[in-house]
Structure 1
Amino acid sequence: VLGFPSNMPAFRQVGEKQLPNQILCMAWSPKRDLIALANTTGELLLHRLASFQRVWSLPPIECTGKEITALAWRPDGKILAFSVRDTKQVVLCGVEKAEILHVFPMQNPVTCMHWMEVTDESSALSSFYNSEDESKLFLPKLPTLPKSEEKSDEIMNLLGEVRLNVLVLGGDAGFVELYAYGMYKITTLTGVSGTCRSLSLSSDLKSLSVITQVRSADNKPEMCYIQLDTGLLSDCLPEVTRMARKFTHISTLLQYLHLSLTCMCEAWEDILMQMDLRLTKFVQEKNTSTQVQDEFLELLLWGQSSPELQALLMNQLTVKGLKKLGQSIESSYSSIQKLVISHLQSGSEALLYHLSEVKGMSLWKQKFEPLGLDSEAIEGAITAVGSFSLKANELLQVIDKSMKNFKAFFRWLYVAMLRMCEEHVPPELNKMTQKDIAFVADFLSEHFSENEELFDRKGKYFNVERVGQYLKDEDDDLVSPPNTKGNQWLKFLQESSHLKESPLLFPSYPQKSLHFVKRMMENVIEQCLQKPAVSSYTFSANHSIDFLYDQMMFCNRDLSLFSHRWNDKKAKMHYVLFCMPEISSSKLFLLRKPTDPNKYIFIMKVFLQLLTMFFYGRPNCVYSYLDARFYDDEMLTVVLQGSEEQNKRRVLAQLPLASTMSCASEFNWEPNMRLDQQTSAIPCQNLVLGNQWRELESMKAQFVAVNGIRKVACVLSANLRHIRVFEMDVEDEDDEGAESQNTSADQDALDITMSSTGQGGEERAEADDEAGGQRGDVLQNPEERLESEEALELS
């Protein structure tokens, strides 16, 4: 029996709120006093600890979905991941500005996730961490995006810290995948069956524990504990880290290029299409059969125009409108030109740099060939980036030519319209050489010809403006591809069969838009990223066996799973905290499993403790467990519910596990039997709780989320709408409330007694279970949980 000193600190309530929508998931930030909440409308909320103030909310949008099933924070607290069931996607969201930074699809809906940081300190990894920034010596810093500077900075935050972190995703049909840095898939695990309910990866990357729900032969739900040996993945940790970091750089650069192209589309305004639209309208309304270019040429050569052309110029364009149109086109072209030079070209150079380094890794076959790196696939990705760079340079040439053409055309037309209005023409504009006249005539002949193909496809006759076609996200060929006649280099390539097929030359796609080439590049790189994903066979010694795993069947009914935790300080132990309501809701089970890759299935030792809770001196007042979480390595945070005699009052408490963690008793699990059939043999232990508890008045508390590092807890009611936030391990500001609580602690000290089954506690617990009904976990099946909550509310 262990007791607490009487001067233990109390819990201080710092916030309380009634929310309009039910909360399905909640998770504390690992670095800051922030908690993320996901409600039934698909909205993601971020609240601050102080007075539970809302920082921001992210409503559901088309690219995400409305049914959030799981949350996970990146270890540095800057990125929040959440999974969406209806769209089968995982979304990475920036915490600072509530912006979606990365979205990737999944084969199955994700039901649980875990994001952890690898703590391996090998010399190979340390040297890589120290030299990872070498790319900054060769590559200039990417400029921020105009009008989207904050978004650009958030995109760069996708890289995060150099130290490896792994996002583990579990879903239906035994679906388990690991993503390095939350973006690059490093493996898909096999050997798991059923729907994943909870999972936890050890920080040394040697073992993964999974709780799944399977169906028995008679279609009854059964809960199963599986421990996968991922030691083969840990053995290749330096190589996996290097490869994953490079691919994270590449994925981030793709996002950066996508945003750059979006900014270019914004710079290309609709006003650039006004000339095309007005010329088309002019052709449709004029009565003469003369072509438009002939009428403009007549105005250019003789200074005379038809009444229809004069009406177009003076009534639809106007002198002031023409001047404004010319300024708008020049401004838009200049903005696009700057974005191509500073953003597209810089991003493409960085992509080529990182892909070339990955190609160098693939050529080191001894180290990286087992990871699936394919030098040919990487070479294809490099070629695709080169083609994108060529298309960007082609766009620069088109912009440069269009700016010269439009400047000369608008200058001549402006003077012509001033003369029509009989207004004064500035002397500097009135001078026009024969060369200038020939230049404008060529421009009119090339751009002002009626094109029936355009009318059939787009409902327009003209395509005077040539830049916008490169920025349209369409699969059609360019309406007016660049004229390559007279290009000596292209002629030389066509005549040289050796150079024509040379892999050293990037292919160009003169008929395609910049958007089309970008999509093609993204598809090639995506295949290059997915191909090295490590399968369960790759890391085996002979490349032909699955991961070994230990498996235990808990029970044949629903299991209230509470929490996982890896304790690296105590010989790499993994702890699973759970409750089996069929046996007793007033008893907690603690499974302790060492990380031992040499263990074989059915030969493992399982350490279990069975906890019972009741008021000291009042054995008839049994408390049942509603929820429990690991506060830290040696403490549990639990939500308790009293019996009928105690009016089912709810209590938030801290339970010490120091003596339980060091328990030397062993329970030999019989592999041919479920765990619920062997509980009588489970060793037990007694604990006494002091004043480290607090009654939750006027609240039907049901769930709790904690962060032992930040010393905070959040309690959620059974109806999923009422929330209270507490600071733990601090003195309560309400002295009067603290005195009454201490008095209650002295009179009715909560006692946690670990006793073997069959000492009266079983019968009381079963009676309490019948009164309380089944409970669900806030991170488990929503439908089952809501049904149980409705039953609780009615009771």
Structure 2
Amino acid sequence: MKGRHFCILLFCVSVFAGVLIQQKLPKMPAFRQVGEKQLPNSILFMVWSPKRDLIALANKAGELLLHRLASFQRVWSLAPNEDTGKEITSLAWRPDGKIIAFSLADTKQVILCDVEKAEILHFFPVESLVSCMHWMEVSEESSTLTSFCNAEDETSHFLPKLPALPKSYSATSKIFSEEKSDEVMKLLGDVRLNILVLGGGSGFTELYAYGMYKIATLAGVAGTCRSLCLSSDLKSLSVITEIKSTENEPEITYFQLDTSLLSDCLPEVTRMARKFTHISTLLQYQKLSLTCMCEAWEDILMQMDLRLTKFVQEKNTTTSVQDEFIQLLLWGKASPELQALLMNQLTVKVGFKKLGQSIESSYSSIQKLVISHLQSGSEALLYYLSELKGMALWKQKYEPLGLDAALIEDAITAVGSFILKANELLQVIDSSMKNFKAFFRWLYVAMLRMSEDHVLPELNKMTQKDIAFVADFLTEHFNEAPELYDRKGKYFNVERVGQYLKDEDDDLVSPPNSKGNQWVNFHQNSTPLKESPLLFPYYPQKSLYYVKRIMEGVIDLCLQKPAEIIGKSIKQAIGMPLYTIPTSTDTLPRLFELPSLWNDKKSGMHYIVFTMPEISPCKLYIMRKATDLSRSVSSGLVAIDLGSLLSRSIDGTAEASRYSCLDARFFDDETLTVVLKEAVEEEHRGRILAQLPLSPVYAGEEEFILDPSMKLDQQSGDIPVQSVVLENQWRTLENMKAQYVAVNGIRKVSCVLSSNLRHIRVFEMDVEDEEEEDKQDVSGDQEKLEQSLEPSLCSQEDTEEGELTEGAEAGTSDLQEENASTSEI
């Protein structure tokens, strides 16, 4: 029994010794650094993906960079070009992490980029320069939305899938490439509504459903937007702006807007937004299809017109070109001038055979695009517009959202007119292909005879009907029209398809001949038919591009009204000046600077974090406001004293330093990641990266309720101050003048940027640094020692006292050696 007591005592001593050993070890820095990089260009924005270990960076050169957490490895980069511009002014991720949105200063555009392949999926213009953006997702899941999703999937039974645009054309967008199967649904994402909120100068604030369709244009916000956040319950929008004055210093102001209409009508807003997003995508599809048609129509089609014009200007005879060709057709003889035109210009310089093949190939490509793309897209537009019209007739549900059945009917009519013009183009293409094919076949044989070459028997067969067909073509298309020279720079208009593909307001040079058309005559002579709303308007004198612009304008008008109505329903609930920016502020770009916003989905609160450097530089202020303005939830303001933030000072002395906050971002609902510097900064001391817990902040006194009639700086003395100790949740950033931080609480990572905007460090926030491994090794050795003693405790009863004493002495010796080796470490 004595042996057992001795071993138990020995085990307790060993455990106690291990605890002492651990306490003597130096305190290890928190967070593990996983990457560091010096970048060639200054970073203007850095935002973590909400779902993946990816961070998006926008630099001063206009590049959008995507980096992975592991060793901060670059995934891809999107370089600026003439289409995108060179200055990115804001950046945001879609909540599912599949699409990045960024805004451009040069072109005032917002671009949606696919994360997987760095492809531009969609873009749209904005009226003002976008200075900040926020992309949120509705947290509420409704059975109504689920049933709507199932109903939306049924559209595939009624609408065929849109044909992919051909790769061969440079204008083809990646969104409609052949590799993509369902482009619209990829942009729409989940059935739940997500909204991209844009903010800019002069109070510019707009909301875009699914990042594509504008559902609200807001008014009542003053200044330039610095930060904004739409609550996940859609009940309110918080906006922080900078209001500049000619006399006073710029003032930071907080606004809270009531968006309860969106929340109250969530199913209706989601239905309407998804239909409108389909329509917006189809308009882009139509536009790109028409652009592909323009590229398919080659300049070589104008060669015949140009050569004939040059022939008229250079020939010395008084005979017309039409008579020259008809004489060749009837008698098989050509004048010396016409023979020179045919044998020298058309054959040698252009290649007559090549010209005929190019014309036929171009017409065939345009014809396919009209049938398979323009008509398919137009039918889909009619389908979704008809569904919208049915929704608009349910006035109780959709009239408050601005859905107007009359405007939608006008849009349906405009699409019908576009379809009529596309059918007219098909008729012109079909007629031109027949005419040119017969004309080139006859002229090719005539040129072979002029050069005394062998003519194949199958080419030499030409009936009287074929001759009459060519004669009609020459009579109709080879008329000299000197009045065209001042207008188009040519005398002739043999080619009739290109005029439909010109984006001009002028009338068609050669409109279709409707003489003898029985339906046209009947329609013109019937007053009831002229006034009937069932017939689509027809524009016989206008090009396809012109009718397309009319259609786009009417549909845009249809889409804009809900944005105006919803925008007018959003009213300002709170407007509160926070602080003024001193003129002595450093010239660092205020792109990441406080204040920042956070939406707490659990408690339904908006958190606003800011500092007041002129009044209390060593304090960090947190204000929270309930997202539901109708709820009586406690909201107010607290201040955190940054003086006693650390449990010990950096150099180990008892007195802690005073700190000011450079940047702060919410790590999660209960933690704030901050970058701190000493109030009196010394060169040998690094700045601090810390995790600030918020539970102690709100566990103390009640929050200060602000008086909206007074400025915040006038009430600063009454704001309760809380003290927080960080324990070991902080780290000194050596050899780096840290300034900004970006965090991702889901992935447990943070990225710190230096004040020169080129030095970056990445940290994993839920583990200790590499030195922690040594500490774990020591504790592991201690566990081995404890485990080695357990068998002796189990077998003591069967052991003699002398043997037990020997074992105890051996165990004591091993412990001393272990302690000695640990002390050396």
Specify the TM-score bucket, using the shorter chain as the normaliser.
0.7 to 0.9
Deviation at residue 201 of structure 1 after TM alignment: 0.9
Residue 382 of structure 1 is matched in structure 2 by 412
Residue 755 of structure 2 is matched in structure 1 by 718
Q: Confirm whether residue 623 of structure 1 aligns to residue 643 of structure 2.
A: no
| Amino acid in the other structure paired with 1:594 | A
| Amino acid in the other structure paired with 1:653 | A
| Amino acid in the other structure paired with 2:56 | A
Q: 1:624 to 1:322 in 2, by over 3 A?
A: same
Structure 2 unaligned regions, length at least 5: 1-24, 583-589, 779-825
Residue 605 of structure 2 is matched in structure 1 by 573
Secondary structure of the corresponding residue to residue 688 of structure 1: coil
Residue by residue, what CA displacement relative to the aligned partner does 1:423-454 show, whole Å, maximum 9, x if unpaired?
Answer: 22111111110000000111111112212122
| Amino acid in the other structure paired with 2:594 | L
Q: Confirm whether residue 111 of structure 1 aligns to residue 131 of structure 2.
A: yes
Secondary structure of the corresponding residue to residue 750 of structure 2: strand
Secondary structure of the corresponding residue to residue 351 of structure 2: helix
Residue 714 of structure 2 is matched in structure 1 by 677
Deviation at residue 76 of structure 1 after TM alignment: 2.5
Q: Confirm whether residue 428 of structure 1 aligns to residue 452 of structure 2.
A: no
| Amino acid in the other structure paired with 2:126 | M
What's the Cα RMSD here? 3.0
Decide which of 220, 223, 242 is 2:271's aligned counterpart: 242
Q: Confirm whether residue 75 of structure 1 aligns to residue 108 of structure 2.
A: no
Q: Confirm whether residue 141 of structure 1 aligns to residue 161 of structure 2.
A: yes
Q: Distance in 2 between matches of 1:621 and 1:191?
A: 43
Deviation at residue 142 of structure 1 after TM alignment: 0.4
Q: Distance in 2 between matches of 1:590 and 1:314?
A: 86
Residue by residue, what CA displacement relative to the aligned partner does 1:565-622 show, whole Å, maximum 9, x if unpaired?
Answer: 11122x212212222212343322222222342269xx97404241413451543423
Deviates more, 1:197-206 or 1:628-637: 628-637
Q: Distance in 2 between matches of 1:632 and 1:145?
A: 44
Deviation at residue 723 of structure 1 after TM alignment: 2.3
Q: Distance in 2 between matches of 1:669 and 1:622?
A: 27
Q: 1:62 to 1:443 in 2, by over 3 A?
A: same
Would you say the 8 A contact 1:16–1:52 is kept in 2? yes
Would you say the 8 A contact 2:206–2:214 is kept in 1? yes
Q: 1:168 to 1:662 in 2, by over 3 A?
A: farther
Residue 553 of structure 1 is matched in structure 2 by 577
Residue 656 of structure 1 is matched in structure 2 by 693
Q: Distance in 2 between matches of 1:122 and 1:9?
A: 46
Q: Distance in 1 between matches of 2:248 and 2:560?
A: 36
Residue 152 of structure 1 is matched in structure 2 by 176
Q: Distance in 1 between matches of 2:218 and 2:173?
A: 39
Residue 769 of structure 1 is matched in structure 2 by none
Decide which of 573, 586, 589 is 2:621's aligned counterpart: 589
Residue 142 of structure 2 is matched in structure 1 by 122
| Amino acid in the other structure paired with 2:327 | E
Would you say the 8 A contact 2:103–2:130 is kept in 1? yes
After superposition, where does 1:89-108 map in structure 2 within 5 Å? Answer: 89-108=109-128
Residue 610 of structure 1 is matched in structure 2 by 640
Deviation at residue 51 of structure 1 after TM alignment: 3.7
Secondary structure of the corresponding residue to residue 317 of structure 2: coil
Deviation at residue 737 of structure 1 after TM alignment: 8.5
Decide which of 709, 713, 720 is 2:746's aligned counterpart: 709
Deviation at residue 529 of structure 1 after TM alignment: 0.8
Secondary structure of the corresponding residue to residue 188 of structure 2: coil
Would you say the 8 A contact 2:401–2:566 is kept in 1? no
After superposition, where does 1:297-312 map in structure 2 within 5 Å? Answer: 297-312=326-341
Decide which of 220, 228, 240 is 2:249's aligned counterpart: 220
Structure 1 unaligned regions, length at least 5: 540-545, 744-795
Q: Distance in 2 between matches of 1:261 and 1:50?
A: 44
Secondary structure of the corresponding residue to residue 278 of structure 2: helix
Secondary structure of the corresponding residue to residue 401 of structure 1: helix
Would you say the 8 A contact 2:646–2:725 is kept in 1? no
Deviation at residue 395 of structure 1 after TM alignment: 0.9
Deviation at residue 356 of structure 1 after TM alignment: 0.8
Decide which of 7, 15, 18 is 2:38's aligned counterpart: 18
Q: 1:664 to 1:144 in 2, by over 3 A?
A: farther
Deviates more, 1:273-282 or 1:103-112: 103-112
Residue 564 of structure 1 is matched in structure 2 by 597
Q: 1:9 to 1:657 in 2, by over 3 A?
A: farther
Q: Distance in 2 between matches of 1:421 and 1:651?
A: 90
Deviation at residue 261 of structure 1 after TM alignment: 0.9
Secondary structure of the corresponding residue to residue 729 of structure 1: strand
Secondary structure of the corresponding residue to residue 702 of structure 1: strand
Decide which of 307, 317, 332 is 1:278's aligned counterpart: 307
Q: 1:529 to 1:537 in 2, by over 3 A?
A: closer
Q: Distance in 1 between matches of 2:175 and 2:686?
A: 48
Would you say the 8 A contact 1:615–1:621 is kept in 2? no
Q: Distance in 1 between matches of 2:305 and 2:342?
A: 13
Residue by residue, what CA displacement relative to the aligned partner does 1:134-176 show, whole Å, maximum 9, x if unpaired?
Answer: 2222100001100147341576343333321111122233332
Q: 1:572 to 1:150 in 2, by over 3 A?
A: same
After superposition, where does 1:489-568 map in structure 2 within 5 Å? Answer: 489-535=519-565, 539=569, 547=571, 549-557=573-581, 561-568=594-601
Decide which of 438, 444, 453 is 2:468's aligned counterpart: 438
Q: Distance in 2 between matches of 1:741 and 1:658?
A: 29
Q: Distance in 2 between matches of 1:262 and 1:485?
A: 32
Residue 485 of structure 2 is matched in structure 1 by 455
| Amino acid in the other structure paired with 1:681 | D
Decide which of 220, 223, 235 is 1:206's aligned counterpart: 235
Q: Distance in 2 between matches of 1:359 and 1:143?
A: 26
| Amino acid in the other structure paired with 2:211 | G
Q: Distance in 1 between matches of 2:476 and 2:777?
A: 91
Deviation at residue 731 of structure 1 after TM alignment: 6.0
Decide which of 632, 636, 641 is 2:677's aligned counterpart: 641
Q: Distance in 2 between matches of 1:505 and 1:254?
A: 23
Q: Distance in 1 between matches of 2:192 and 2:357?
A: 50
Secondary structure of the corresponding residue to residue 657 of structure 2: strand
Q: 1:568 to 1:293 in 2, by over 3 A?
A: same
Secondary structure of the corresponding residue to residue 384 of structure 1: helix
State the identity %.
71
Deviation at residue 474 of structure 1 after TM alignment: 1.7
Q: 1:730 to 1:410 in 2, by over 3 A?
A: farther
How many aligned positions are there?
729
Q: Distance in 2 between matches of 1:71 and 1:377?
A: 35
Would you say the 8 A contact 1:384–1:524 is kept in 2? yes
TM-score by length of structure 1 reads: 0.85
Residue 21 of structure 2 is matched in structure 1 by none
Deviation at residue 251 of structure 1 after TM alignment: 0.4
Q: Distance in 2 between matches of 1:740 and 1:679?
A: 45
| Amino acid in the other structure paired with 2:621 | F
Residue 750 of structure 1 is matched in structure 2 by none
Q: Distance in 2 between matches of 1:461 and 1:102?
A: 42
Would you say the 8 A contact 2:402–2:566 is kept in 1? no
Decide which of 189, 192, 198 is 2:221's aligned counterpart: 192
Q: Distance in 2 between matches of 1:110 and 1:356?
A: 34
Q: Confirm whether residue 398 of structure 1 aligns to residue 403 of structure 2.
A: no
| Amino acid in the other structure paired with 1:182 | G
Secondary structure of the corresponding residue to residue 538 of structure 2: coil
Secondary structure of the corresponding residue to residue 359 of structure 1: helix
Q: 1:604 to 1:108 in 2, by over 3 A?
A: farther
Would you say the 8 A contact 2:687–2:736 is kept in 1? yes
Residue 777 of structure 1 is matched in structure 2 by none
After superposition, where does 1:7-86 map in structure 2 within 5 Å? Answer: 11-61=31-81, 64-85=84-105
Would you say the 8 A contact 2:672–2:694 is kept in 1? yes
Residue by residue, what CA displacement relative to the aligned partner does 1:357-401 show, whole Å, maximum 9, x if unpaired?
Answer: 111111111111111122221111111111111111111111111
Would you say the 8 A contact 1:35–1:48 is kept in 2? yes
Deviation at residue 85 of structure 1 after TM alignment: 4.0
| Amino acid in the other structure paired with 1:549 | A
Q: Distance in 1 between matches of 2:30 and 2:556?
A: 53
Q: Distance in 2 between matches of 1:296 and 1:466?
A: 19
Residue 542 of structure 1 is matched in structure 2 by none
Residue by residue, what CA displacement relative to the aligned partner does 1:68-102 show, whole Å, maximum 9, x if unpaired?
Answer: 32211222233322233454443333434444444
Q: Distance in 2 between matches of 1:86 and 1:661?
A: 45
Q: 1:576 to 1:277 in 2, by over 3 A?
A: same
Would you say the 8 A contact 1:189–1:535 is kept in 2? no
Would you say the 8 A contact 1:79–1:92 is kept in 2? yes
Q: Distance in 1 between matches of 2:669 and 2:300?
A: 64
